[in-house]
Amino acid sequence: MHQTHEKGLAVPLRYCLYSRKSTDTEDKQVLSLESQENELMRLAETSNLNVVKTLKESKSAKDPGRPVFNEMIELFKSGKVDAILCWKIDRLTRNPVDGGQIQWLLQNNKIKCIRTFEKNFLPSDNVLLMSIEQGMANQYIRELSTNVKRGLRTRCELGWRPGVSPTGYLNEKHVDKKCQCRVDPKRGHVIKQMYEKVAHESWSGRKIYRWLKEIDFKTHRGKHLVLANVYLILRNSFYTGQFEFPVGSNQWYTGKHTPIIDKELFDKVQNALNENYIPKTESKEFAFTKLIKCAYCGSGITADEKFKKLKDGGTNRHVYYFCTRKGKDGCQNPYINESELINELIELMDKVDLDEIGIKTRIEDEIKRFNKFRSGVLGYKQDKSSPEVDVRNYTKYLLREGTLIEKRELLACMQSKLALKDKKIHLTIK
């Protein structure tokens, strides 16, 4: 048994058993949490080690800030434990910040022993050996990230965009054809018709959405498109044969997939959409203007801000929403404070059917796209236990804490129009 000596008496070391399993690919060959714990407990029994605390964590160690790891560090600082039992050093850390904490505690005798399945690390040992192991773990993460980015960039340069193909295309399932896709024979022609109707017949996104409902258009997953999906399709240059990856990087590539539309048609649609786009005002920006109608006269709801001076010298900003005809044509719809309006919208989210909140499918689809991207492109193990999306609470969070753009996008995804009457929000048929 590992011991320290206190006034001539042998005192057994108090071990903290720490096991970690990351969900990242670099850890897929490592024993699971249960296997690590079982193996280490057998080691503790055969070596007569005094394990007083068991901690386990499912989180990558490439970045600092793991909650369970930090809990273990606090145990050492408070003197409640004085030794670590883990499978390997890379289970403890793969970044220099956490590695520095471990080394500092070891050098200052707060950690009296780090026991792994292969070796021991003691305060009296040469710290260089431990630094080398930690550095190798950290370098492995850095090289893995570089290799993944290089692999994705190479696929883009070959003309194949990583990830799940947009509606209208089908991904090839053969292993030797990763990221490759072909035009969906059941849906590709509908995508082209969507563009043609906007460009040549001046259809709006909402009219396209209603038309798709009428013809019972569904994705290959068997779901109808929501309004937000319609606009995403109409803005996606992938259908012209060009794509940007990652999105927002301004790195453009020419794809080898078959274009569904030409660049001229795509540009016409962008011009049509931009004409109907609600631009931000440079001087004043409000979250809910031009998204709500007056239930009395049918006019739009606008907003203005007022500032009130406080006794301490500061100011309070108040935003009020009101009908554009109020004070001019005698509309009787009263003002409503923005905080009251947000409370009304939050109450509305509890009453509406979940299908009314068009952002639900968008969130779920993004999670599925992300998981398929990880599995199909990066080789990560498919996670079938994706968390259930609490759409109602998510919408409430956006209304309270979201950015101006997020709030506007949320209301734009509502399947019905919003109307304001006597400081109450109602849904109306579009």
The beta strands (E) that lie in 272-348 are given as 292-294, 301-309, 315-323, 336-337
Could you tell me which residues come within 8 angstroms of residue 174 by beta carbon, excluding any fewer than 6 positions away?
A: none
Report if residue 193 sits inside a domain. Answer: yes
In this structure, the answer to whether residues 304 and 406 fall within a common structural domain is yes
Residue 23: which CATH number? 3.40.50.1390
Closest C-alpha to 117, from 62, 37, 54, 182? 37
Sign of CA dihedral 71, 74, 80, 84: positive
In this structure, the answer to whether residues 8 and 138 fall within a common structural domain is yes
pLDDT confidence tier of residue 90, bands split at 50, 70 and 90: confident
Locate 221 and state its tokens.
């997953």
Closest C-alpha to 241, from 352, 353, 165? 165
pLDDT score of 148 more than 70: no
In this structure, the answer to whether residues 123 and 177 fall within a common structural domain is no
pLDDT for 14 equals 94
Q: Are 13 and 113 in contact (CB under 8 A)?
A: yes
CB half-sphere exposure, 287, CA atoms < 13 A: 21
Locate 333 and state its tokens.
């719809």
In this structure, the answer to whether residues 356 and 269 fall within a common structural domain is no
Report the predicted TM-score, pTM, of the whole model to 2 decimal places.
0.39
Distances (CA, A) of 378 to 24, 150, 375: 10, 12, 6
pLDDT confidence tier of residue 234, bands split at 50, 70 and 90: very high
Q: Are 254 and 242 in contact (CB under 8 A)?
A: yes
In this structure, the answer to whether residues 244 and 300 fall within a common structural domain is no
Structural domains of the chain, count: 3
CB half-sphere exposure, 298, CA atoms < 13 A: 1
Q: What is the mean pLDDT of residues 206-233?
A: 91
In the listed set 275, 302, 335, which residue is the last one of a domain according to the structure?
275
pLDDT score of 15 more than 90: yes
pLDDT for 280 equals 43
In the listed set 275, 306, 329, which residue is the last one of a domain according to the structure?
275
Q: Where are the alpha helices (DSSP H) in 59-126?
A: 67-77, 89-92, 96-107
User: What secondary structure letter does DSSP report for 263?
Assistant: H
Domain that holds residue 9: 3-142
What does the CA dihedral 329, 334, 340, 342 come to, rounded to 10 degrees?
A: -30
pLDDT confidence tier of residue 7, bands split at 50, 70 and 90: very low
Q: How far is CA 291 from the centre of its chain?
A: 26
In this structure, the answer to whether residues 16 and 133 fall within a common structural domain is yes
In this structure, the answer to whether residues 252 and 320 fall within a common structural domain is no
In the listed set 123, 142, 161, which residue is the last one of a domain according to the structure?
142
Report if residue 281 sits inside a domain. Answer: no
Q: What is the mean pLDDT of residues 307-319?
A: 79
Rounded distance, CA 421 to CA 8, Å?
83
Report if residue 419 sits inside a domain. Answer: yes
Locate 165 and state its tokens.
């193909």
Task: Give the tens place of pLDDT for each residue, 315-362.
Answer: 788 899 999 876 556 788 899 999 999 999 888 888 877 666 666 666
Rounded distance, CA 98 to CA 52, Å?
22
Rounded distance, CA 165 to CA 213, Å?
22
Q: Which amino acid is at 92?
A: L
Q: Where are the alpha helices (DSSP H) in 115-262?
A: 127-157, 188-201, 205-214, 227-234
In this structure, the answer to whether residues 316 and 252 fall within a common structural domain is no
Report if residue 161 sits inside a domain. Answer: no
Task: Give the tens place of pLDDT for each residue, 374-405.
Answer: 565 555 555 555 555 567 787 788 788 888 88
In this structure, the answer to whether residues 358 and 235 fall within a common structural domain is no
Q: Are 420 and 293 in contact (CB under 8 A)?
A: yes
Report if residue 164 sits inside a domain. Answer: no
Higher pLDDT, 79 or 249: 79
In this structure, the answer to whether residues 325 and 411 fall within a common structural domain is yes
Locate 50 and state its tokens.
């005094």
Q: Which amino acid is at 248?
A: G
pLDDT for 356 equals 62
Report if residue 152 sits inside a domain. Answer: no
Distances (CA, A) of 8 to 4, 11, 80: 9, 9, 21
Higher pLDDT, 274 or 419: 419
In this structure, the answer to whether residues 298 and 421 fall within a common structural domain is yes
Give 120-154 as a DSSP string. EE-TTS-HHHHHHHHHHHHHHHHHHHHHHHHHHHH
Q: Which amino acid is at 53?
A: K
Residue 252: which CATH number? 3.90.1750.20
Q: Are strands 83-85 and 120-121 parallel, antiparallel or unpaired?
A: unpaired
